[in-house]
A and B are shown apart, each in its own frame.
Chain A
Amino acid sequence: MSKQVVSLNRVVIRFAGDSGDGMQMTGDRFTSETAGLGNDLSTLPDFPAEIRAPAGTIGGVSAFQLAFADHDITTPGDAPNVLVAMNPAALKANIRDLPRGADLIVNTDEFTKRNLEKVGYTSNPIEDGSLEPFNVHAVALTSQTVEALKSFAVSKKEAERAKNMYALGLLSWLYSRGAEGTRSFLNKKFAHKPEILAANLAAFEAGWSFGETTESFSVQYEVAPAALPTGLYRNITGNPALALGLIAAAQQAGLPLFLGSYPITPASDILHELAKNHRFGVMTFQAEDEIAGVGAAIGAAYGGALAVTTTSGPGVALKSEAIGLAVSLELPLIIVDVQRGGPSTGLPTKTEQSDLLQAMFGRNGESPVPVIAPQSPSDCFHAAIEAARIAVEYRTPVFLLSDGYIANGSEPWLVPDADTLPKIDPNFATGPNHTKADGTEEFWPYLRDPETLARPWAIPGTKGLEHRIGGLEKADGAGGISYDPDNHDTMVRLRQAKIDGIADTIPDLVVDDPTGDADILVLGWGSTYGPIGAACEITRRTGVNVAQAHLRYLNPFPRNLGDVLRSYRKVLVPEMNLGQLTMLLRAKYLVDVTSINQVRGMPFKSTELVAAITAAIETL
């Protein structure tokens, strides 16, 4: 039976179910098929911190949102066009985000009295009329899956577990996605379990056929490919992109890559990704704690490796003293902080941008560290290479501030040509650099490059460069212990000047102000790039001019930032914190920027930013 096919420009789907329902995998598969069709896309996984929260509870709901379009998009969308709710808890947790008229697919099998009561429904929403605003498709997903698999050599429980594939088949049909990728994925995943493989393939086909034949779905949709720049694409998530960036940076620098890390959500996937890449000589050290992770990285940096430690906010707190040591030793080190909700353990699986001030100031003494932040999942790759460049060229620890949203979110990525990546020069010291009064030559570990103020990177094993360094204050140049007051004043200022000077090698901030006469600038950093971009576009479509700029470099700031801030009547700074960048901007430039903030553990919705921009315009 052929149905009417309707073309759409953009679709947002949210899969929601119990933690054990396989929603993340379902979302990943749908994403992969969608990427292959050439749509632009953006994803937002949202899952609980518990591995298996109590079944059927609100706390145990795991969701995956995906936006895909025939044009360039930057966010996973504010509100879904389709919600797949695998149980009452998933419905209850997500229904408030569903706009009137949206499609709602519910798994009726799970809407039992007990499951309804568990989440506080006193009547069945499928029957009591409360879902009337939506286009409800009540489907017995579980029992239809079991029915479809009755001739297969699997238990009832195993058959029930295949219901996510049934749902995926249905959605794949509904949005004219391919099936080949999912088939080959399942073939690989269940290669050693032929019965389970057959059942999952059959469940997928059954879901697809159900879509084709049921009267519940009268139309099928399609979304044309987006007009993206030509080239080879893959879909990529932030954490793996960051790992690839580190491997690429090490290769471009001709250095071995060493990771010292302790597992922590949401950063562990970087450790996992690097551990898979021993072929590149990558050394991954799972340390006994966060401090040992950074400590080992400092040891490897001292020995001449490109050294990295990966963590999240609580881990940074533990590493602070060691980062201060790296500041004092002036050794290259990359500290990756995949930020999550805080303080303390906070919200491990939810996103936040609240470690900016910790990265800037969370150490004793005057301890400046460069800070840079990627703006999207694929940008993690390039930001990692840039962090490595700064670390190596300036012999300094560098903070790379990712967050849970871009770490787990994904987007299509125009794969770069490895040959065009920038080279990084470690420029190891090879011999003496100072002549004593008596004419003999010696090595001064703190004799700085006059331009960059970087000290020599003199690694053990280099003849004639034996020297001792440590956390005690060092004499300017010669590097021996010094308690001299003037020397300390000099060294504190030199370390600061070195970091400030990095601004000479970073690009000016680029402002997107299409008409050139906007009164308002929206300035962001990190993962808010997508929502801010979408909000500015929506605002411009209403005929209001607004400028957008996004900071990749948080310390030091680009040289032109002060001028940019002063050239707009109003500057809005959206952040997923209570105004940390805002504080830095006000302190440095004495400009009264306006903070827009929320800390709900989720990215900004573009609609809320549109509202904030509109309100700001009205006050001009």
Chain B
Amino acid sequence: MTDTYPSLSLVPKTDIAITAKDFKSDQEVRWCPGCGDYSILSNVQAFLPELGLARENIVFISGIGCSSRFPYYMNTFGMHSIHGRAPAIATGLAVSRPDLSIWVITGDGDSLSIGGNHLIHALRRNVNLKILMFNNRIYGLTKGQYSPTSEQGKVTKSTPEGSLDYSFNPVSLALGAEATFVARTLDSDRKHMTEVLRQAAAHEGTALVEIYQNCNIFNDGAFDPLKDNETRDDVTMRLVHGEPIRFGADNSKGVTRTEDGHIKVVNVEDVGEAAIISHDAHAKDPGLAFALSRLSNPRTLENTPIGVFRDINRPSYDRLVREQISDVIERKGPGDLQSLLNGSDTWNVS
């Protein structure tokens, strides 16, 4: 277990066998029937036993929004906090408690609008957090306003003539924020999500997992091109580290480098297999990952990569904090309160 998940080496292991059922809390789940959140919840509950951790050492922290009700349904420690601040709260917990496996649950509004600042700083610091961002491209809990990932022109209650905001691409944003692990998966693809969660859990530092999640009430079908049997294979680019980037019905499409250094989607037979580039999630330079994140069409979802875009090694912030402290203690010895109070410049009144 320890070898599979080096990022969790300080977290105590469970001494009893636990299953998905053990992670279900006694709270009644109150998302709308048909919401994509249900499948994410059950996927996470099914995956967690694999980590073999003591349940009491797992913490889910969320912000505000539909997705952020998630911790209530997990039989672990959990905090449903305030809008956008979950990464900040989780950072304080992670720095002071290396013995915990900490998961942040957030949505596109929570993490990219009101909490955008905390998200990018958690990513650059590389705090040992696993951030699951449920992206449904809409505000659900406030009943249907456009979100920072809604496509430009989106007609909603707050934008009857269409939204004017240009949208965020969460993967591009995370890569620009120096993230060490960035992935994307789908609420409905259990196998894929589990594999992405596995890699995220193994990663030391902040792992951002964008989960395309259907809001069947306010933005139904937003990700249908990636889900419908007829279109799915044609638009979905499944990234696998070390493998040529090929997709399409008969793997007929691929990604190649252009003469001017960009990348583009081509028909494999037009350029030959040798011209198709392989995915390298471990590349130090985020250039390829970023270029891949730009391939998809935000409106039609054509050429949408899913999988792990980037997964590199950089010591986590919380580990560095602990090492700095223990290093100081090793060099100078533990502090003595009385000498601290005395300071260096005293005099006696007798």
Residues of A within 8 A of B (CB): 32, 35-36, 38, 181, 225, 228-236, 244, 247-248, 251, 256, 258, 260, 277-283, 285, 287-289, 291-292, 295-305, 307, 321-322, 324-325, 329, 415-419, 460-472, 480-481
Contacts and interface: CB of A to CB of B under 8 A. Distances in A.
Given A251-B337, A277-B335, A303-B92, A461 B56 contact: yes
Contacts of A231: 348-349
B89 A295 contact: yes
B341 A480 contact: no
Contact of B93 (A234, A280, A302, A466): A302
Interface residues of B, number: 59
Interface in B310-344: 321, 324-325, 328-329, 332-335, 337-338, 340-343
Contacts of B333: 279
A258 B93 CA distance: 10
A613 to B, nearest CB: 32
Interface in B79-110: 79-82, 85, 88-97, 99-100
Contacts of B74: 468
Contacts of B324: 278
A301 B54 CA distance: 21
B117 A285 contact: no
B9 to A, nearest CB: 15
A274 to B, nearest CB: 11
A232 to B, nearest CB: 5
A608 B350 CA distance: 36
Nearest to B83: A321
Contacts of A36: 345, 347
Contacts of A470: 71-72, 78-81
A292 B121 contact: yes
Given A288-B117, A305-B96, A418-B337, A281 B329 contact: yes
B342 A234 contact: yes
A297 B89 CA distance: 7
Interface of B: 12, 25, 27, 54-59, 61, 64, 71-72, 74-82, 85, 88-97, 99-100, 117-118, 121, 321, 324-325, 328-329, 332-335, 337-338, 340-343, 345-350
B88 A295 contact: yes
A336 B38 CA distance: 42
User: What 8 pairs between A and B have smallest CB-CB spacing?
Assistant: A470-B80, A299-B92, A296-B92, A295-B88, A279-B335, A299-B93, A292-B88, A280-B335
Contact of A468 (B72, B92, B345, B350): B72
Contact of A297 (B55, B57, B92, B341): B92
Given A233-B347, A288-B117, A467-B77, A295 B340 contact: no
Say what secondary structure dominates the interface of chain A.
mixed
Given A244-B340, A288-B121, A295 B92 contact: yes
Contacts of B81: 295, 298, 325, 470-471
B322 to A, nearest CB: 9
B59 A471 contact: no
Contact of A462 (B56, B71, B75, B350): B56
Contacts, number: 205
A279 B334 contact: yes
B325 A460 contact: no
Contact of B329 (A235, A278, A289, A297): A278
Contacts of B92: 258, 260, 285, 295-303, 305, 307
Nearest to B84: A291
B345 A292 contact: no
18 contacts: A233-B347, A234-B345, A260-B88, A278-B329, A279-B332, A281-B329, A288-B117, A288-B118, A295-B85, A299-B89, A302-B89, A305-B96, A460-B56, A461-B100, A467-B77, A467-B78, A468-B78, A471-B82
Given A467-B77, A470-B81, 10 more contacts: A38-B347, A232-B346, A233-B349, A280-B335, A300-B93, A302-B93, A303-B93, A303-B100, A463-B56, A465-B56
Contacts of A285: 91-92, 95, 321
Q: Which of A280, A303, A321 has the most CB of B within 10 A?
A: A303
Given A279-B334, A299-B88, A322-B85, A38 B56 contact: no
Contact of B117 (A281, A292, A329): A292
A31 to B, nearest CB: 10
Nearest to A188: B344
Nearest to A467: B77
Contacts of B75: 466
Nearest to B85: A295
Given A248-B341, A299-B92, A471-B81, A466 B55 contact: yes
A299 B90 contact: yes
A277 B345 CA distance: 18
B88 to A, nearest CB: 3
A76 B24 CA distance: 64
B56 A469 contact: no
B58 to A, nearest CB: 8
B347 A302 contact: no
A466 B346 CA distance: 50
Nearest to A324: B82
Contacts of B78: 467-470
Contact of A460 (B72, B97, B345): B97
